[in-house]
Structure 1
Amino acid sequence: MKLINKANCIGQLVSITLLIFSQSVAVVGQNQVASTVEWPAYGNDAGGMRFSPLTQINPANVKQLTVAWTFRTGELEQYKGTDAAEKAAFEATPIMVDGTLFFSTPTSRVFAIDAATGQKKWMYTPDVYLRQDLSEITSRGVSVWPVPGDKSATTRANKRIFVATLDGRLVALDALTGKPIATFGKEGSVDLRQGVGNISVTSPPAVIGNTIVVGSSMGDNNRFNYERGVVRAYDAVTGGLRWSWDPIPRTKGDAGFDTWKGPNATQTGAANAWSIISADAERDLVFVPTTSPSPDYYGGERLGKNLYASSIVAIRASTGKVVWHFQTVHHDIWDYDNAAQPLLLPFTQNGKTIPAVAVGTKMGHIFILHRETGVPLLPVEEQPVPKSTVAGEEAFPTQPIPTTLPALGLRKPEAWGLTPTDKAAAEQRIDGLRYEGLFTPPSLQGSLMVPGNVGGIHWGGMCYDPQSGLLLTNVNRMAAVIRLLPREKLAETVKYDQDLLRAETGMQAGTPYVVKRSYLFTKNEQGLIMQTPPPWGTLVAINLQKGSLAWEVPLGYMMDVTKYPQAKQWGSLNLGGAIATAGGLVFVAASLDGHLRAFKTQDGSLQWEVPLPAGGQATPMTYQVNGQQYVVIAAGGHGKLGTKPGDYVVAYRLP
Structure 2
Amino acid sequence: MWNKCVYNSVFSTGCQDMKNRAKPVYLIALLLAVCTILALTAVPSPSDTSSDSWPNYGRDAGGMRYSPLTQITRDNVSQLKVAWTFHTGDVSEGGGRRKRSGFETTPLLVDGTLFLTTAFNRIIALDPETGQQRWAYDPKIDLDGDYGDGLINRGVATWLDTTRSAKQLCHRRIFESTQDARLVAVDAATGAPCADFGKDGQVSLREVLQYHPGWYHMTSPPAIIDDLVVVGSAIDDNHRVDMARGVVRAYDARSGALRWSWDPLPANPTAAAAEGKSPSWRSGAGNAWSIMVVDQGRDLLFVPTGSASPDYYGGLRPGDDKWSNSVVALRGKTGQLVWGFQLVHHDLWDFDSAAPPLLATLRVDGKDVPVVIQGNKSGAMYPAKLLRPHSPSQSSHLRSLRKLFLPTKLGDQLPRIAIGAEITFRASATKAFLRRPAFKALSWYPETSAA
TM range (shorter): 0.7 to 0.9
Say whether 1:460 aligns with 2:436: no
How many angstroms does 1:445 deviate by?
3.8
1:274 equivalent among 272, 285, 289? 289
The correspondence of residues 252-291 of structure 1 with structure 2, limited to 5 A, is 252=269, 262=275, 263-264=278-279, 267-291=282-306
How many angstroms does 1:195 deviate by?
3.3
Q: Structure 2: which amino acid aligns with 1:215?
A: G
Name the CA shift for 1:454/1:224 in 2 (closer, same or farther; >3 Å).
farther
Q: Structure 2: which amino acid aligns with 1:440?
A: R
Preserved contact between residue 214 and residue 231 of structure 1 (Cα < 8 Å): yes
- Supply the distance in 1 between the matched residues of 2:180 and 2:90 (Cα, whole angstroms): 17
- Aligned to 1:89, the other structure's residue is in SS state coil
Name the CA shift for 1:158/1:451 in 2 (closer, same or farther; >3 Å).
farther
Corresponding residue of 1:218: 235
> Which segments of structure 1 move beyond 4 Å, counting only runs of 4 or more?
28-33, 78-83, 153-157, 257-261, 263-266, 452-455
- Supply the distance in 2 between the matched residues of 1:174 and 1:235 (Cα, whole angstroms): 16
2:124 equivalent among 91, 94, 111? 111
Say whether 1:470 aligns with 2:441: no
How many angstroms does 1:446 deviate by?
2.0
2:58 equivalent among 33, 36, 43? 43
2:379 equivalent among 358, 361, 364? 364
Corresponding residue of 1:229: 246
How many angstroms does 1:250 deviate by?
2.4
1:302-334 CA-to-partner distances (Å, cap 9, x unmatched) read: 011111111101000100100000000000001
2:104 equivalent among 91, 96, 118? 91
TM-score, normalization: structure 2? Answer: 0.79
- Supply the distance in 2 between the matched residues of 1:32 and 1:311 (Cα, whole angstroms): 37
The correspondence of residues 148-297 of structure 1 with structure 2, limited to 5 A, is 155-156=163-164, 158-196=171-209, 197-198=211-212, 199-250=216-267, 252=269, 262=275, 263-264=278-279, 267-297=282-312
Name the CA shift for 1:79/1:169 in 2 (closer, same or farther; >3 Å).
farther
Preserved contact between residue 339 and residue 361 of structure 1 (Cα < 8 Å): yes
Corresponding residue of 2:155: 141
Corresponding residue of 1:303: 318
Q: Structure 2: which amino acid aligns with 1:120?
A: Q
- Supply the distance in 2 between the matched residues of 1:347 and 1:90 (Cα, whole angstroms): 34
Q: Structure 2: which amino acid aligns with 1:447?
A: F
Preserved contact between residue 229 and residue 250 of structure 2 (Cα < 8 Å): yes
- Supply the distance in 2 between the matched residues of 1:67 and 1:30 (Cα, whole angstroms): 23
Percent of aligned pairs with the same amino acid: 45
Say whether 1:353 aligns with 2:368: yes
Corresponding residue of 1:479: none
Name the CA shift for 1:33/1:131 in 2 (closer, same or farther; >3 Å).
closer
Preserved contact between residue 379 and residue 439 of structure 2 (Cα < 8 Å): no
How many angstroms does 1:133 deviate by?
1.5
The correspondence of residues 547-626 of structure 1 with structure 2, limited to 5 A, is none
1:576-617 CA-to-partner distances (Å, cap 9, x unmatched) read: xxxxxxxxxxxxxxxxxxxxxxxxxxxxxxxxxxxxxxxxxx
1:508-544 CA-to-partner distances (Å, cap 9, x unmatched) read: xxxxxxxxxxxxxxxxxxxxxxxxxxxxxxxxxxxxx
How many angstroms does 1:155 deviate by?
4.5
Name the CA shift for 1:82/1:69 in 2 (closer, same or farther; >3 Å).
farther
Preserved contact between residue 374 and residue 381 of structure 2 (Cα < 8 Å): yes
Q: Structure 2: which amino acid aligns with 1:307?
A: K
How many angstroms does 1:47 deviate by?
1.0
Higher relative contact order (CA 8 A, sep 6+): 1
- Supply the distance in 2 between the matched residues of 1:268 and 1:451 (Cα, whole angstroms): 28
2:417 equivalent among 441, 450, 457? 441
Corresponding residue of 2:339: 324
Of structures 1 and 2, the larger Rg is shown by 1
Say whether 1:65 aligns with 2:80: yes
- Aligned to 2:437, the other structure's residue is in SS state coil
Preserved contact between residue 364 and residue 407 of structure 1 (Cα < 8 Å): no
- Aligned to 2:297, the other structure's residue is in SS state helix
- Aligned to 2:379, the other structure's residue is in SS state coil
- Aligned to 2:49, the other structure's residue is in SS state helix
Extract unaligned runs of 5+ from structure 1: 1-27, 147-152, 380-401, 413-436, 472-655
How many angstroms does 1:462 deviate by?
0.9
Deviates more, 1:46-55 or 1:355-364: 355-364
Corresponding residue of 1:129: 142
Corresponding residue of 2:26: none
Name the CA shift for 1:29/1:451 in 2 (closer, same or farther; >3 Å).
closer
Q: CA RMSD in A?
A: 2.6
- Supply the distance in 1 between the matched residues of 2:83 and 2:321 (Cα, whole angstroms): 50
Preserved contact between residue 271 and residue 281 of structure 2 (Cα < 8 Å): no
Corresponding residue of 2:392: none
How many angstroms does 1:377 deviate by?
3.8
Name the CA shift for 1:80/1:326 in 2 (closer, same or farther; >3 Å).
closer
- Supply the distance in 2 between the matched residues of 1:218 and 1:51 (Cα, whole angstroms): 30
- Supply the distance in 2 between the matched residues of 1:32 and 1:366 (Cα, whole angstroms): 32
Extract unaligned runs of 5+ from structure 2: 1-42, 165-169, 388-395
- Supply the distance in 2 between the matched residues of 1:118 and 1:260 (Cα, whole angstroms): 61
How many angstroms does 1:284 deviate by?
0.5
- Supply the distance in 2 between the matched residues of 1:32 and 1:456 (Cα, whole angstroms): 36
- Aligned to 1:464, the other structure's residue is in SS state coil
How many angstroms does 1:404 deviate by?
4.2
- Supply the distance in 1 between the matched residues of 2:448 and 2:272 (Cα, whole angstroms): 41
Name the CA shift for 1:345/1:441 in 2 (closer, same or farther; >3 Å).
same
How many angstroms does 1:440 deviate by?
1.5
How many angstroms does 1:450 deviate by?
2.6
How many angstroms does 1:360 deviate by?
1.4
Name the CA shift for 1:326/1:251 in 2 (closer, same or farther; >3 Å).
closer
How many angstroms does 1:362 deviate by?
1.4
Preserved contact between residue 208 and residue 245 of structure 2 (Cα < 8 Å): no
How many angstroms does 1:106 deviate by?
1.2
TM-score, normalization: structure 1? Answer: 0.55
Preserved contact between residue 345 and residue 357 of structure 1 (Cα < 8 Å): yes
Q: Structure 2: which amino acid aligns with 1:160?
A: R
